[in-house]
Chain A
Amino acid sequence: MRVLLVEDDELIAHGILAGLRAHGLTADGVSNAAQAEAALATLHCDIVILDLGLPDEDGMRLLARLRAAGMALPVLVLSARDAVEDRVAGLRAGADDYLLKPFDLDELVARLHALLRRAAGRSVDIIEHGPLRLDPGSGAVFLHGQPVDLSRRELALLAALLHASGRILSADQLRDSLYHFNEEIESNALSVHVHHLRRKLGADLIETVRGLGYKISTVKP
């Protein structure tokens, strides 16, 4: 899952990004509304965390504008303003959830998973695909009831493919899900991770669509 964090306070942004990455999420941060718009236009993101107090534009206005322009990603608003009016206004402007600062990192991650799950139309957090079970919250993977040990990247790759539920994801999209901006990516990194997943979970799980990308196999293993 790739998270875009829009937060102007550098200290908080550092903390959230480190926390999200430690929880196995791919996270990128931008510090103002203009950068947020640019990032949303160019990156493949799954979810947005938006702080309301931005230096160049009020977060609420940015959100309303993005929603009006058809941005459908789930948005979790972070704010230190705890008045009921503020929270209501945030939800009305198109936020899917509202979390007050200071918050609990575990709660933030759980809410992100819940938002994503609802956006995918599932009511339970566990994703099942044939004999394969993935719990995105804890990062645990089971094959035929047996736990499978996956690295952080492999887990992110599997989650991205499962979330797409059969749609083809391009290599770029997958790389966006796996790596944040500043990470160095080796050219064959993605295929290495795909190879490892196939080895651990079965060769048929991930199909390569030539020239387009990868998708999860609709023929269940």
Chain B
Amino acid sequence: MKKIQINGSAQGTTYHISYYAKDCVIVKSQIDSLLNAIDQSLSLYNPNSLINQFNQSNEGLTVDNHFVAVTKAAQSIFQKTNGLFDITIGPLTKAWGFGPVKPDSLPNEKAIQSLLPCVDSRLLYWEGKKLKKRNPCVQLDANGIAQGYSVDQIALLLEQNGINDYLVELGGEIRVKGKKWPEQTKMSVGIETPGEDFAPTVMKKIVWLDKGALTTSGNYRRYRESGGKHLSHLINPRTGYPFENELISVTVYAPDAITADAYDNALMGMGLRQALGFVEKQPGLGAYFIYRQKNGNIADSASRIFRSLLQP
């Protein structure tokens, strides 16, 4: 077995894939064309993508398999999180300047109130492969979930080609299967330290995996500033305003990356106590939280499943 590595750029970030095989069975061009197809479907940054066509349409349109898979997963997590994860958040992320276009000023109360009636996954319904909207103002933003989905699709491509030992990472979202060769150990994944922009020296925790996915959501690098205050890019779909609580970052462990990715934002919104309780009730889900205590100190906390990953 040899270790084969593929590195590249996609979806406005980078990816790193390592897999163990007798030969190089998957090459970079296959990864790039897969990611490109997902972009064509779900990227807001691609003006001709299906998602942009859907957003501009009045009633909705027939969508491709990527779109179906991501939207159905999003609808399921919408229900499980009582609407804290909502793929119809498009109008709000756009207004707050976390979309492809950055408005010069932040939205006022009136603007936000006018957008809230457009934000509700129950405004979506299916007619076969046709995704319909009940209100023309409904706009999707798959950024909280499409990256996790992409990681799963790469993993699927590897497995379909007989690869059983791999680590896929795209934009900090990870999926792992199997072991490293020849040492036969689990793969190790570092959880990046939040808080300090350019201090990559301290890794808060290292976890060891032989299956499953890890994604992290946090407030510490992607934000806008307003009056010296950092505004989180994570918007509460129910209030229209950025989440504000003690959580700095959440790292979620789940069987696949789309699930981990969809939950991480919602958990950020719940706050530590509720999020920890929520995670413990979901089978197969684990989470690691970094948060700010009332006295300003940074602390961390992990769920039961997550604690088991901290042992090699």
Note whether A and B form a binding pair: no
Which B residues have a C-beta under 8 Å from some C-beta of A? none
